[in-house]
Amino acid sequence: MDLYDKILNKEDIESIIELIKEDKKIITRLYSYETIFSKTLNYLLVNRNKNTDLEYLFTIFIDILSGSLINKPSDLLSCIQKIKNKNNQILFLKTIMHHRLVNDDFLISLGGNKFVFEHLPYDLSWIEIPVIKYGSKAIISATEKLSIGQICPLIDCIEDTSLIEYLVGWAFEEDKLNDSGVDYFMQRREKKSETDNIKFNKKYKTKREQYYPLSML
């Protein structure tokens, strides 16, 4: 079977899958053809649980995407363009965000890219990773006081306020919040009961250590 015949003439996904089984390097070549790549990824997402071969190929796809192919936020839009089911889109994004090989610079860049963010399906399971990566890097690197918008450029798109509160609380503790940020933090804290504040502080400490070990703080 000829790969280019399948890509350029027939867009025969099942035949492409068979070619990939024979040679995994085809995945990298296929990535240049955005539409057919996304269709192939969609096929694997839909059928991955039907047999171990497809499940294995899906894992290989994700490994290669995370480790070498996805380098900028807009790459995600190319990947999901033919993934029809929203839940499958979210599963794909969650799998990429949590992957051990994914590049930190990619995650940080995504955490500040409003255009791409607004074109992806909203779900906290994947969103918290780039948002926290961006915010934590901004806090750690800051040499002056930061506004909330500088800590989280996507604040207008975030439905879960706990993400914002987490980052603002971190910046407050590090004395890197500007006056308006401090006002926001104090107002939010005053609205919480003592029990809520204790729960939030435990969650905040655990999440912070998850993303940046104590040795890095």
pLDDT in tens, 167-183: 999 999 999 999 998 99
Q: In whole angstroms, what is the distance from residue 31 CA to residue 8 CA?
A: 14
pTM for the whole thing? Answer: 0.85
CA distances from 50 to 21, 27, 37 (A): 16, 21, 20
Res. 214: pLDDT tops 50: no
192: confidence class by pLDDT, cuts 50, 70, 90: low
pLDDT digits (tens, 9 = 90+) for 127-143: 999 999 999 999 999 99
The phi and psi torsions of 175 (rounded to 5 degrees) equal: 60, 45
Q: Pull the structure tokens for residue 20.
A: 């990939």
Give me the mean pLDDT over the 46-50 stretch. 94
CB neighbourhood size of 138 (10 A)? 20
Q: In whole angstroms, what is the distance from residue 162 CA to residue 169 CA?
A: 10
Asked whether the beta carbons of 26 and 3 are under 8 A apart, the reply is yes
Q: In whole angstroms, what is the distance from residue 217 CA to residue 206 CA?
A: 13
Q: Pull the structure tokens for residue 9.
A: 């003439």
Indicate the residue type of 57.
Answer: L
Beta bridge partners of 146: 177
If you compute the radius of gyration of the chain from its CA atoms, what whole number of angstroms results?
A: 21
pLDDT: which is higher, 26 or 11: 26
Q: In whole angstroms, what is the distance from residue 136 CA to residue 208 CA?
A: 9
Place of tokens 């807009």: 74
